[in-house]
Amino acid sequence: MSTVRWNIAVSSEVDQSVRMFITAQGGGRKGDLSRFIEEAVRAYLFERAVEQAKASAADLDEAELNDLIGRP
């Protein structure tokens, strides 16, 4: 997997909290902050996709939902 560089700015409070969290988890080595950010972004995107799917399916009845997901 190729990587790209991001230049981001966060408050000093967030920086300190994240670094303390990573250290408490046994991290603090090179690349740990990047891995933390990537995992957090993936989790955020997944949660938004789930929320969007739930909102899109909110008006469907059980039969329509089962038909949509291919369940008999």
| pTM summary value | 0.77
CA dihedral 23, 25, 30, 32 (to 10 degrees): -120
**CA distances from residue 18 to 5, 44, 46 in whole angstroms, order as listed:** 19, 16, 21
Q: How far apart are CA 69 and CA 67, in angstroms?
A: 6
pLDDT digits (tens, 9 = 90+) for 20-66: 999 999 988 999 999 999 999 999 999 999 999 999 989 999 999 88
Q: Residue 16 pLDDT more than 90?
A: yes
